[in-house]
Amino acid sequence: MTDFKELIANELYDESLGLEIDEIKGMIEIPADESMGDFAFPCFRLAKALRKAPQQIAADIAASAGGNKAFAKVENVNAYVNFFIDRAYFESEVINEVRTKGASYGKSEVGAGKKVIVEYSSPNIAKPFHIGHIRSTVIGNALYKLYDACGYDTFRINYLGDYGTQFGKMIVAYRKWGSEDELKEEPIKALLGYYTRFHKEAENDPSLEDQARETFAKLEAGSPEETELWKKFRELSLAEFNRVYGMLGIEFDSYNGESFYSDKMPRFIQELKDKKLLVESQGAQIVDLEEYDLGAAMITKSDGSSLYVTRDIAAAVYRKENYNFYKCIYVVASQQNLHFKQWKKVLELMGYAWEEDCVHVPFGLVSLSDGDDIKTMSTREGQVVFLEDVLNTAVSKTADIMREKNVQGVNVDEVSKEVGIGAVIFQELSNNRIKDYVFSWDKVLNFDGETGPYVQYTHARASSVLRNADEADLAAIAEGNINASYLASDSAYALCKLIYRLPEIVIEAADKYEPSMVTRHLVDIAQAFNKFYHDEHILVDDEEERRAKLSLVAVSKTVIANCLALLGISAPERM
């Protein structure tokens, strides 16, 4: 497809300007006000080289450009040269591009040959997989897909929280009060129950804490019985998590969590010592980061056991050595900002210059609005809402809505899963990730708002138009036999312009770690499609006109499905 900015840059290029083509291209803007054209070139920077007023330069350029059939009009307003692209020319370029690229439209190769690790979800085993985890899980998955779409060689890691002294407590409690059956039945709830009970009983019986410490020490030393139990807890937890990942359509390439690094830490503790970075503080070993305003990073406790940051150091070096990443992205809540700052600083002080390629991508909190009828469960930390319950509720509420609407010819059981879960994912990716947000069913499942169901419905609408078209028309548009001069309306043109911008939005969203840029663009496309659909009669008698319009419908359907796929959401044909 024609790169219109490049086309314009070539048109403008002249040695006397003292600018390279790429520089010119970078200066081209897309005016917010359409009456200012489709692209605009500001001439301020040229004033010096040309020794003329910017306005005069713009006027001169406008007068001489314009021979190209791609431009309908070139004119200047003050110091800007405004380019109006010929609509039919532009539209047939866009439609052809999407038609030939199909599912890969929106993708690029900007990241070819570069390895990007995306670490996300990373729940703690034996703990509930709750609504709070949805953010890292869904944002991380979308980032993975965006990087993948940009041609990077991606690798997904679920850094499970499967290590720490709490496992000593859990094993002690399980042996005292637990049962195999209970554990198999509902592992997380059972394990959480043991853990809670441990804390209650330990208030009156401090010897429990000692037992837990001893048990953890055995586990660390690799004692078979303790390891066996820990493995069982891990496997059962993972099976529960995988059920949720399955519902969300999410997979990982590695589940190497904290425990994987337990035997890899001595090397770094030694290295920190050798580099004179460790100091003792009340028996613990710390890296003093006061001078950077980052407090102290605790590397080992007074009993010698390692800490969260220590494991993250080992994990980062392991990943660098084994995957040689170009970038390693950590999708973790902003509550852990300090942890990640400390960790990066320690890596830097250790001399690992590549720490700059490790990126913490933080996000805000999700909370529930009052009156949301989601099951909650009390734990030591408070009320817990299981993510699985949220997803199931979304599906059943969607099924209710669909039955109420009495939609015909649709397998409600199937489609309500795609729509309900899609709605939750979409909501998650709608806002700027750093913002806190309040989860509300009314917002999530509103079929008319800027929601997943709305976009999916738009996709189904486009599918339905195409189902009603006749074979000969479909065959013609598949060949690209269309006359775009029938797409002269503002609504058709606006839709094409949004479609045209998708590849650049995908690259920018990946660069900024901001999937919501794609979500918002997708809403714009869906709205533009619906405007086109309402403004225009599509299945008109005139064959050429009908085919031109149908091809824009087909292209829109492809693009909406592609965007949904980038977000990890399916695109039902009917709903």
CB of 234 to ligand ARG, least distance (A): 13
124 binds ligand ARG per the rule CB under 6 A: yes
CB of 195 to ligand ARG, least distance (A): 15
- With 0-12 CB in 10 A as exposed, 13-18 as middle and 19+ as buried, what is 12? buried
For ligand ARG, which residue of 111, 140, 161, 422 counts as binding (CB under 6 A)?
161
Any catalytic annotation for residue 127? Answer: yes
159 binds ligand ARG per the rule CB under 6 A: yes
For ligand ARG, which residue of 86, 91, 312, 388 counts as binding (CB under 6 A)?
312
x/- map, 322-361, ligand ARG, by CB under 6 A: --------x-x-----------------------------
DSSP string, 454-484: HHHHHHHHHHHHHHTS-HHHHHHHHHT---G
209 HSE (CA, 13 A, CB side): 7
Interface with ligand ARG (CB under 6 A), residue total 9
Any catalytic annotation for residue 360? Answer: no
137 binds ligand ARG per the rule CB under 6 A: no
Residues 419-448 that bind ligand ARG (CB under 6 A): none
**Which residue of the set 127, 344, 397, 549 is catalytic?**
127
Task: Considering only CA atoms, give the Rg of the chain.
Answer: 29
- For ligand ARG, the closer of residues 39 and 330 by Cβ is 330
Give yes or no for a contact between 261 and 314, defined as CB atoms under 8 angstroms apart.
yes
- For ligand ARG, the closer of residues 188 and 462 by Cβ is 188
CB of 339 to ligand ARG, least distance (A): 7
Q: CB nearest ligand ARG: which residue?
A: 161
Residue with tokens 């359409």: 34
Q: What Cα–Cα distance (Å) separates residue 444 from each residue in 237, 402, 439, 456? A: 28, 15, 8, 13
Residue 493: phi, psi to the nearest 5?
-65, -45
Taking the C-alpha atoms of residue 566 and residue 149, their distance in angstroms, rounded to an integer, is 8
Give yes or no for a contact between 359 and 513, defined as CB atoms under 8 angstroms apart.
yes
Name the one range near ligand ARG by CB under 6 A: 115-123, 166-174, 187-195, 345-353: 115-123
- With 0-12 CB in 10 A as exposed, 13-18 as middle and 19+ as buried, what is 3? exposed
DSSP string, 250-276: ---SB---GGGGGGGSHHHHHHHHHTT
Taking the C-alpha atoms of residue 277 and residue 342, their distance in angstroms, rounded to an integer, is 13
- For ligand ARG, the closer of residues 177 and 323 by Cβ is 323
- For ligand ARG, the closer of residues 56 and 336 by Cβ is 336
- For ligand ARG, the closer of residues 127 and 497 by Cβ is 127
Name the one range near ligand ARG by CB under 6 A: 117-125, 207-215, 453-461, 548-556: 117-125
CB of 73 to ligand ARG, least distance (A): 54
What interhelical angle do 543-567 and 516-535 show, nearest 10? 160
Residue 385 DSSP label? -
CB of 359 to ligand ARG, least distance (A): 12
- List the one residue out of 414, 426, 411, 505 whose CA is nearest residue 458: 426
- For ligand ARG, the closer of residues 161 and 572 by Cβ is 161
**Which residue of the set 5, 25, 107, 133 is catalytic?**
133
- For ligand ARG, the closer of residues 335 and 383 by Cβ is 335
Beta bridge partners of 368: 439
Strand, coil or helix: 389: helix
Name the one range near ligand ARG by CB under 6 A: 93-101, 120-128, 463-471, 475-483: 120-128
**Which residue of the set 107, 130, 521, 557 is catalytic?**
130
Residues in contact with ligand ARG by the rule CB under 6 A: 119, 122-124, 159, 161, 312, 330, 332
Q: Which residues are catalytic?
A: 127, 130, 133
